[in-house]
Amino acid sequence: MAAVAAATRWQLLLVLSAAGLGVTLAPQPPNILLLLMDDMGWGDLGVYGEPSRETPNLDQMAAEGMLFPNFYAANPLCSPSRAALLTGRLPIRTGFYTSNGHARNAYTPQEVVGGIPDSEHLLPELLRTAGYASKIVGKWHLGHRPQFHPLKHGFDEWFGSPNCHFGPYDNKARPNIPVYRDWEMVGRYYEEFPINLRTGEANLTEIYVQEALDFIKGQQAARRPFFLYWAVDATHAPVYASRPFLGSSQRGRYGDAVREIDAGIGRVLRLLQDLGVAENTFVFFTSDNGAALISAPKQELDLTTAAPGHLPGEPSPGVVNLNLRPDSGWSFISTTVSVPQNSSSPTSDGPGREPGGQTCPEGGSNGPFLCGKQTTFEGGMREPAIAWWPGRIPAGQVSHQLGSIMDLFTTSLSVAGLEPPSDRAIDGLDLLPAMLQGRLMDRPIFYYRGNTLMAVTLGQYKAHFWTWTNSWEEFRQGVDFCPGQNISGVTTHTQEEHTKLPLIFHLGRDPGERYPLSVASTEYLDALHRITSVVQQHQETLVPGQPQLNVCNQAVMAAAQHSRSGPLRARPSPLRPVRAPAPSHRAAAQSRPAREGRKNARGCGGETGGPRPRAWPCPPSCAGAEPPSPPGPAPHADARLPSAEPAPRVRDTCGATMADPELQLVARRIRSFPDFPIPGVLFRLSWKSRETPWNLDRRWWLWMICWPLVPHPVSPARDHARSL
């Protein structure tokens, strides 16, 4: 006992002496570095099987750390996924969805004035209580109004942009996207920060790497723990890289961008090692959603023709020649590189390409998985993921834990010794037990698209309650989210409901989601029982936030001044997702041009605070605004939406819009005939020939010739016509 007492007194004397000398014996909390890529696919890294093997630094990071092959985004689109990372919550809880349409993807372009609510607790806010200095480098994408500024939500420093590097714009109807250093706007993309769309040259990644290096050096000198959120966007269309990396990849311009990012991450990790803080720094690498696959086969662009009077790097309204060539199974994004004057640049986040743009291939690979960005198939939401913490995370390990980008919120708090907020539902798990001890936890992955629960994965089984890629209208324009991967009944171009009998896949045996289980099998019934129980439990705790991403449609907003309904907060059924009130047909018809051509809408200027040169006025906030409801009682929250296109229109069996009154008359005439299919090509030919001498009699004559040649026992066309 005397020895114990002496030892205790000695320890007490050491503590008192250290306090008198001003020495802190407590170890510094670990630093936290989150590396978030933009539109990078699961198959883009050598360690994940990319055949070019052009990511040596990330491959080395995986060799020294832990690989997560089953890691998911919280949404197949940029903004909602980033909101989920910083809040640890599903985007539908934080309002990062739209109620403008069923299962409609949404993000924060200049037309959307919503953003991250003040009621949400972001990761840097909580880390600040533990003494962390926080910085975001790159893309914020959680709102561009002043109240959504990153420095108002816990970050101490910021260098980057509130949006992606879309553009260039004409600075008349819409300005170019601004770039900020903290509160001050220091320039705009394509102006002070040039991006050459012809060559793909831009030095933004180089700037972002230097910002990260300087921040780490500064915090190490100050002996202060740091949280660095490095969110570069070079792999988002239009893809760019600096001059030393252009042409260095076997994969084209996208590969150039990946190589530069890989080299930059290598520099950051080496700096941590040189400063001696690598063993006290938790690093995690992942992406916000899957690679954007919009067009295949690969298109090789000939940009030799340009209109006179355009400077290098400016878009040319001249003719661009497309030379098609087959590709070896890899899918690529279509990036618009020619923008007509007085129009805005299309984006892979929006509803589709805008008229007049030409395309070129600049996108990544989702490996063996189905489809890509904007879809809730595996290619849209399964991401590359690497954890690195020398001395703490065992090297060279692979964890089959189901992970989510929301887990980075909870895991980072655990690294800092903090608990997540207890006053709200937190969907992210603490992955430290899986990383440090190899312990696996059973948990579901929820696949939301907009306000709709599309699918759920539990263990190896994934159940699809809804399937949809993109509309027939977009598909006919060449926009394909699943190029070369058409699977009948799965990759549908209409919103197909499977709530009574979900499509269930075993992802271990069938990672490409090509062979659904037989509904009569015991395996199907067992998986359905387990998943249904999880979904019901999820439903009980889900309270959707006020939608922040509704598009500010001027026609709808004008009508809403006379008839406005508040956001729905009813608990959604997992198989009957949250629904918005059905929009007025008249208002929807009036707003269709603005909804389809958002480039014509007056933007909000993209300002986030600080000086506002060339600022554009913003419309009133429509973050919670709903389209006006039709006369009569409001539909129940579980009521099914009429369709994604509320205006009353006639459609052929493929979904092509037929607004021509003569074509409607033809459709009405077939009601009294036996079952037969109407050749959609005749309708489309007639529709495209409205300005030619074609008349109704000649159309009818062609139809009468083709009808006997195409017998069919079922007539979807007649069923569609009867709905007129």
What the block records as the tokens of 81 is 């996924």
- Residue 287's contacts (CB-CB under 8 Å, 6 or more residues apart) are 36, 37, 38, 39, 40, 41, 73, 383, 384
Please give the Cα distance from 64 to 386 (Å, whole number): 10
Q: How many helices (H) and strands (E) does the chain have?
A: 18, 25
E strands, 550-620, are none
| Beta bridge partner(s), residue 464 | 455, 503
Please give the Cα distance from 528 to 520 (Å, whole number): 11
3-class DSSP state of 232 = coil
Q: Report the chain's C-alpha Rg in angstroms.
A: 27
Is 371 in the active site? no
**Contact (Cβ atoms closer than 8 angstroms) between residue 504 and residue 461:** yes
Helices 661-669 and 696-706: angle between axes, nearest 10 degrees: 40
CB-count burial class (<10 Å; 0-12, 13-18, 19+) for 692:
exposed
Identify the helix (H) or strand (E) that includes residue 537: helix 522-541
Report residue 532: phi and psi, to 5°.
Answer: -60, -40
Is 153 in the active site? no
3-class DSSP state of 365 = coil
> Annotated binding residues for Ca(2+), as ranges?
38-39, 78, 288-289
Q: CA neighbours within 13 Å on the CB side: how many for 262?
A: 24
**Contact (Cβ atoms closer than 8 angstroms) between residue 38 and residue 236:** yes
Report residue 47: phi and psi, to 5°.
Answer: -65, -20
Choose among 165, 633, 67, 50: nearest CA to 403: 67
3-class DSSP state of 693 = coil
- Residue 496's contacts (CB-CB under 8 Å, 6 or more residues apart) are 466, 467, 468, 489
Q: CA neighbours within 13 Å on the CB side: how many for 263?
A: 16
Q: Write the DSSP symbol of residue 332.
A: B
Report residue 361: phi and psi, to 5°.
Answer: -85, 115
**Contact (Cβ atoms closer than 8 angstroms) between residue 378 and residue 369:** yes
For the chain, how far is it from start to end, CA to CA, in angstroms?
94
Please give the Cα distance from 590 to 85 (Å, whole number): 37
Choose among 175, 188, 100: nearest CA to 617: 175
Tell me, rounded to whole angstroms, the distance of Cα 621 from its chain centroid.
Answer: 23
Which member of 78, 482, 552, 604 is catalytic? 78
Please give the Cα distance from 425 to 420 (Å, whole number): 10
Which member of 141, 144, 153, 493 is catalytic? 141
Helices 661-669 and 680-688: angle between axes, nearest 10 degrees: 160
Identify the helix (H) or strand (E) that includes residue 555: helix 554-560
CA distances from 358 to 3, 233, 300 (A): 82, 22, 11
Catalytic residues: 78, 141
